[in-house]
Structure 1
């Protein structure tokens, strides 16, 4: 139920999502069946897999963020970058239609089950699935390239012919991302269900490094200066669009050797009836409904964001801020979710709903407790963070347009992660129908809020207003999902969640007050001084983090005290 700029399988697409960077949520951990170790061992395994994925996600998303900084430094944060972001969303949304959402909600649970019950460990089934996907993705890519002008008209608003022409040119270069993103996601799913996590977590880094190199070459050849859409040469367009496409090609290439390592052999299989297409179609049909509704929301979002004038925050700035949210969500929440998805799927298949509910409750509480100080930092330190991260090259002087969007977006971080956790719980059952039905009123609410903001406020507030619509819709999604999950899996520990939420809120408010006080006492204006901005981020971040940790220990927030205790034991050793 996300509303961001999606990028298929990059470290930042993100899984569900991933903007220039967004969120495709791919990957699983080893399955747990009747021969699995006892619960405490399995729990440790899930924790270990979460840690591995957190490290990989940290590096992957870190390089993904550096990639975004390089794009911003090369082409700025306004018109040309808006066109780049709009062009990039087109292949990502076509991919989401074909496979993106279906992968996590349908394909991964089915691969887990076939891995358990098929005599060959699901090898032939996976080969058929890859064959069908490669053919469908190939045809879709060719059709999308031919329809690029129409797709541009759908997403690019009415910013003039030069802007539309640039979006179309970039989109035609980047539309093959559809094919390679699909292959990358499926290969990652096959590897994850066979217990291999390293390659899927690290391959996106190759993608990011290629795009970083392309942007560095752009700056060397053309300079880091702000240009208008109609002023870009064919060489500049080719370097931007072609470099982005080359990144995903290299990512897929980096995954192929890992297939042999886990004993999987590629073989074309055309006996698609053996896939159980009726079951996949039933589950995938509801997921398609989910994706269609999200796509309508994104079309509205992009058309609103593309109404801005030259110096107002548009798609590129919205994308950069959403990426900051996705970094925090991805490193913390996605690492936990992807490790527990097969575990919850296995528990649901065996009727062990009590275990599933316990995992769900613990995940929500842990994610909330860990993300809270990050949200406080985003809100209190919005100005210096914007300067430190984005005030470079062609984007120099634009931090003032970014900071208000980040401040508002901080409110959406925790609701977004919680809503995603509940959605994945439904998918683990597996049930794609209920999330699709929940998504309809949620997206309608988001669109309503965003349209009202567009009508009531100036264009300078537009991107911030879009984030308000996101936050409201995420809260609604989490509340509705929690109520509808209980009849399916029993009590999900609402009382324990509320208790943790209350304590986290107190600790977060205390950290906010201290952070604001520190910002008031520090001299100067961070928006006008990058060095001062860095100092404010370091001192303010330390004050917020230290205050939150101290209050969390005092309030006995278990999810924090357990982590601190574990670190103390390890340091003691």
Structure 2
């Protein structure tokens, strides 16, 4: 579950870890600006994801998709994971919602509470970061095995980790300053400053490609290259965090260290959010084990591009539609659902959920079929450059195909969990996360043990998708018991998804056939691949839109936003 580590930093809605438990009341002004805020978030997410994709393309060109790339990518995963475990889950689930409440209930407008909270977060982060740097070899050993044949890769990962682990502190600084802004209904800065990080990394990898010889093996990378990658990557996160300081000052926040934490209710609130914190832990355990398995494939086949880096790149592409469409829609939807739950208006809550599922399905369903039909062409066009060739990009494309249709249950399950948060229920989301993690780990372990290294991680991608199929089924059953009725009493949801799957499946076959025909007549270079992918995608899109019109899928017109 690679996305579990990144989500703590990327998503800014308070419900990401169950913040709906303490959701602040929606003011009249907030309601009036809801659509505008949702659009701003979607636009910021799109720019951030676009620059992030450019960065990853350059990264793959510089490092490839094999063992060398996985040393860097594994080390870069560790800070996000540790930040989430250390304080990220508590920050989003408990402390920040309390910050919002303090601003509306305390005589000083919550200023003392803000200062205590920022002081507490910085202290925990400072100590935790120092300990993590000291214990880097032990931490890395959880994600990558130290074997005689791959000892140099393990040591390089430890070196990268020591450069990158200071990010823990700056991830936390970014999050707490951003949430201080969010409590003041200032959302723009936190949405856009991550773009600065991507720009720094784009410049770093561009410099790496332009000025240095591209290494093919772990043994070939130089000290200068390691230092450029380590310092440059951490500098991007530092800039992202520090860029918020002028904005929080302009918003009226003045930091003064306060250590009078006793009696403020923080400990009691953290205890109350134990299920949310366990939710985070379940995701991180799954992430660690799958990363270890994927790195084992890289260690066995260091140049095949069939291990952790390929898995991570494929999953990042696969999650783009979810990040842009579903998360932005949920941000606008959750306050309305929370109010409906509080007022006992179950039919209205069900109607909101049904509509959200139908609207997001208009994009999510065809996106899943697009990845299934054209995954290899997408991976070849994006990643077969520099240190990666068409052959080493193929496993990545096959992983994208394996993830493919799992996007549909992944997105739907994410939406259904928001209903539990609307009822201030954080226990059920933890149970769902634990169930999905267990299924994912069982299937991933089977792939690791039974499949050859070349196909083991591709199987893990399919296992991840299947785990969300089981998670969606269980979540829907539990939600029906909680609500006492179906979300889809009138059958509109079932009819819409049947039409969407039919239209997308037929369109996917048409797009795949077109791409196959183009591949037989065009060369296999970049331009040939680009034309093949463009023809396949355009044909699929046209076929999908035509079939959607013939099948009268009315939700296609509702996609720009909630009305």
Corresponding position of 1:6:
5
Query: Structure 1 469/199 Cα, relative in aligned 2: closer, same or farther at 3 Å?
Result: same
Superposition map of 1:173-184 within 5 A: 173-184=163-174
Q: Matches of 1:329 and 1:463 in 2, distance apart? A: 22
Superposition map of 1:273-288 within 5 A: 273-288=262-277
Q: Give the TM-score normalised by structure 1.
A: 0.88
Q: Matches of 1:304 and 1:525 in 2, distance apart? A: 39
Tell me whether 542-551 or 143-152 shows the greater mean CA deviation.
542-551
Q: Is the 8 A contact 2:19 2:93 kept in 1?
A: no
Query: Structure 1 273/426 Cα, relative in aligned 2: closer, same or farther at 3 Å?
Result: farther
Q: Matches of 2:426 and 2:522 in 1, distance apart? A: 47
The answer as to 2:76 corresponding to 1:77 is no
Query: Structure 1 375/120 Cα, relative in aligned 2: closer, same or farther at 3 Å?
Result: farther
Q: Matches of 2:336 and 2:374 in 1, distance apart? A: 38
Corresponding position of 2:212:
222
| Unaligned segments of structure 2, at least 5 residues | none
Report the CA distance between 1:241 and its aligned residue.
1.2
Q: Is the 8 A contact 2:380 2:529 kept in 1?
A: yes
In the TM superposition, what whole-angstrom CA distance separates every residue of 1:395-452 from its partner, at most 9, and x where no partner exists? 1332222211111111221222222223344334333222112222221111111111
Q: Is the 8 A contact 1:378 1:407 kept in 2?
A: yes
Corresponding position of 1:532:
528
Superposition map of 1:8-23 within 5 A: none
Report the CA distance between 1:322 and its aligned residue.
0.7
Corresponding position of 1:64:
52
Secondary structure of residue in 1 paired with 2:262: helix
Q: Matches of 1:337 and 1:91 in 2, distance apart? A: 27
Report the CA distance between 1:176 and its aligned residue.
0.9
Secondary structure of residue in 1 paired with 2:259: coil
Report the CA distance between 1:32 and its aligned residue.
7.4
Query: Structure 1 559/70 Cα, relative in aligned 2: closer, same or farther at 3 Å?
Result: same
Q: Matches of 1:349 and 1:136 in 2, distance apart? A: 35
Corresponding position of 1:233:
222
Secondary structure of residue in 1 paired with 2:552: coil
Q: Matches of 2:523 and 2:73 in 1, distance apart? A: 25
Q: Is the 8 A contact 2:480 2:486 kept in 1?
A: yes
Count of aligned pairs between the two proteins: 551
| Unaligned segments of structure 1, at least 5 residues | 17-23, 568-573
Q: Is the 8 A contact 1:8 1:92 kept in 2?
A: no
Q: Matches of 1:254 and 1:526 in 2, distance apart? A: 47
Secondary structure of residue in 2 paired with 1:206: helix
Q: Matches of 2:237 and 2:145 in 1, distance apart? A: 27
Query: Structure 1 525/118 Cα, relative in aligned 2: closer, same or farther at 3 Å?
Result: farther
Report the CA distance between 1:166 and its aligned residue.
0.5
Q: Matches of 1:27 and 1:548 in 2, distance apart? A: 37
Corresponding position of 1:542:
538
Q: Matches of 1:351 and 1:114 in 2, distance apart? A: 26
Query: Structure 1 520/350 Cα, relative in aligned 2: closer, same or farther at 3 Å?
Result: same
Secondary structure of residue in 2 paired with 1:77: coil
Give the counterpart of 1:334 among 327, 330, 334: 327
Secondary structure of residue in 1 paired with 2:161: helix
Tell me whether 163-172 or 343-352 shows the greater mean CA deviation.
343-352
Q: Is the 8 A contact 2:365 2:500 kept in 1?
A: yes
Q: Matches of 2:57 and 2:211 in 1, distance apart? A: 18
Q: Matches of 1:503 and 1:354 in 2, distance apart? A: 24
Corresponding position of 1:504:
500
Query: Structure 1 227/99 Cα, relative in aligned 2: closer, same or farther at 3 Å?
Result: same
Report the CA distance between 1:58 and its aligned residue.
0.6
Q: Give the TM-score normalised by structure 2.
A: 0.90
Secondary structure of residue in 1 paired with 2:296: coil
Report the CA distance between 1:119 and its aligned residue.
4.2
Q: Is the 8 A contact 1:423 1:435 kept in 2?
A: yes
Corresponding position of 2:353:
360
Report the CA distance between 1:368 and its aligned residue.
1.8
Query: Structure 1 252/525 Cα, relative in aligned 2: closer, same or farther at 3 Å?
Result: farther
Corresponding position of 1:571:
none
Query: Structure 1 351/458 Cα, relative in aligned 2: closer, same or farther at 3 Å?
Result: same
Report the CA distance between 1:27 and its aligned residue.
10
Query: Structure 1 208/139 Cα, relative in aligned 2: closer, same or farther at 3 Å?
Result: same
The answer as to 2:181 corresponding to 1:191 is yes
Report the CA distance between 1:344 and its aligned residue.
4.0
Query: Structure 1 526/426 Cα, relative in aligned 2: closer, same or farther at 3 Å?
Result: farther
Q: Matches of 2:341 and 2:561 in 1, distance apart? A: 32
In the TM superposition, what whole-angstrom CA distance separates every residue of 1:125-182 from its partner, at most 9, and x where no partner exists? 3332222111111110001001100011111124521011001000011001111111
Query: Structure 1 105/52 Cα, relative in aligned 2: closer, same or farther at 3 Å?
Result: same
Q: Could you say what the CA RMSD is over the residues aligned between the two structures, in angstroms?
A: 2.9
Report the CA distance between 1:489 and its aligned residue.
4.8
Report the CA distance between 1:62 and its aligned residue.
0.6
Secondary structure of residue in 2 paired with 1:522: helix
In the TM superposition, what whole-angstrom CA distance separates every residue of 1:297-331 from its partner, at most 9, and x where no partner exists? 12221121112212141111001001102222111
Q: Matches of 1:566 and 1:133 in 2, distance apart? A: 36
Report the CA distance between 1:527 and its aligned residue.
8.7
Corresponding position of 1:515:
511
